[in-house]
Amino acid sequence: MASVAFEHVGKTYPNGTDAVIDCSFAVDDGELVVLVGPSGCGKSTLLRMLAGLETVSTGVIRIGDRIVNELSPQERNIAMVFQDYALYPFMSVRKNLAFPLKMRGMARDEMDKRIAWAADVLELAPLLDRLPKQLSGGQRQRVAMGRALVREPAVSLLDEPLSNLDAKLRVEVRAEIADLQRRTHTTMIYVTHDQTEAMTLGHRIAVLDGGRLQQVAPPQELYDRPANAFVAAFIGNPPMNIFPVQTRANGAGKQIVVAGQTLPVDPAGNDDARQAGLRPEAFRLASDNAAPALEATVEHVEFLGHETLAHVQVGQGSSAVPLVVRLPGMPPLSKDERVRLSFAPKQLHLFDAQGVAL
């Protein structure tokens, strides 16, 4: 196992496309870091450069103390797990696990020992003589993980490994991967576009957009203190409500104006604020005499049993602000109903015109 460091890494393709731009962050030995972002943000390109499958245009990549820019994939001691598993269909599970060890010329006794260890850790012992076509999607994914782990790689790379699984199986295999990483202390870098996977798996999460690194932080910090409006809106389901505001002084305090409605905010609120953000769960239904609160009209209601998602609109016309509100239980809301929504000022996030958190 080893640490990984990206130092001002960039990737520009021959057609001039900048897939990754000046990316710098480190992964500690034994850490699981998730790369997350929308399609085309550069996360898979970053992974492929680390694996040696793409050349680095600028910057340096280190695995442990070694600069690996010029090393072949074989010399980097990295294992990859792909979304399509990449198992050999004509080989049994045992032979799939043994293949990378045979390629390295490993002695039979050591090979058997590693296969037995992987089979025990991943609960594959009853499946060792089966072919991949005789396995479920989750079992095939575990075999792919086992084939990576028997090599005892310095770093394991997982490129959207759950994307071919159904929703129920994704939850199960996600938990297995997290448990496996905890038990083996393997350094892992995991790529996904699913922010739920990122939040539940990563010790830290690196958020990318447009080839640029937006923020690297533990899940709770990303959720509570996003560096910019993109991260704020990307992390969370439903995402944070982001809407335009004006900020103005009000005696010793500050106010924000949202679709013509005025609310007090923390006195430290920055005058440069042009956008504000509120998580859906920050809102509460306010009584008629409660102040301050936003007045809104219910547009659509989703009753989910344990909670309700209310889609509402603040204001009218071109300046109207749509919001998603998460409420506990099943409050009796209906379309076109007028509601008053309160929130704690400390839950308000303010951003400047470029979307940078204030």
Largest separation between any pair of C-alpha atoms in the chain: 80
- Structural domains for the chain: 4-234 (3.40.50.300), 241-351 (2.40.50.140)
How far is the C-alpha of 51 from the C-alpha of 310, rounded, in Å? 45
Per-residue pLDDT, 270: 64
Q: What DSSP state is assigned to residue 337?
A: -
Per-residue pLDDT, 268: 59
Q: Which two tokens stand for residue 319?
A: 């300046």
pTM of the full structure: 0.87
Q: Are 340 and 288 in contact (CB under 8 A)?
A: yes
How far is the C-alpha of 328 from the C-alpha of 238, rounded, in Å? 14
Tell me the backbone φ, ψ of residue 92, rounded to 5 degrees.
-70, 170
Q: Which two tokens stand for residue 11?
A: 């990737």
Q: Which two tokens stand for residue 42?
A: 């550069």
- The per-residue DSSP string of 52-79 comes to TSS--SEEEEEETTEE-TTS-GGGGTEE
Q: How far is CA 349 from the centre of its chain?
A: 20
How far is the C-alpha of 32 from the C-alpha of 192, rounded, in Å? 13
What separation, in Å, do the N-terminal and C-terminal C-alpha atoms of the chain show? 39
CA angle 207, 211, 1 (to 5 degrees): 60
Per-residue pLDDT, 96: 93
Residue type, 202: G
How far is the C-alpha of 29 from the C-alpha of 111, rounded, in Å? 25
| For residue 264, cis peptide bond before it (omega within 30 degrees of 0) | no
How far is the C-alpha of 100 from the C-alpha of 151, rounded, in Å? 7
Q: What is the pLDDT tens value at each position of the chain, 358 positions in all?
A: 799 999 999 999 999 999 999 999 999 999 999 999 999 999 999 999 999 999 999 999 999 999 999 999 989 999 888 777 788 999 999 999 999 898 888 899 999 999 998 888 888 899 999 999 999 888 888 898 888 888 888 899 999 888 777 778 788 878 888 888 888 888 999 999 888 899 999 999 999 999 999 999 999 999 999 999 999 999 998 999 999 988 877 766 678 888 988 887 765 556 678 899 999 999 999 877 666 789 999 999 999 989 999 999 998 888 899 999 999 999 999 999 999 999 887 888 999 989 999 8
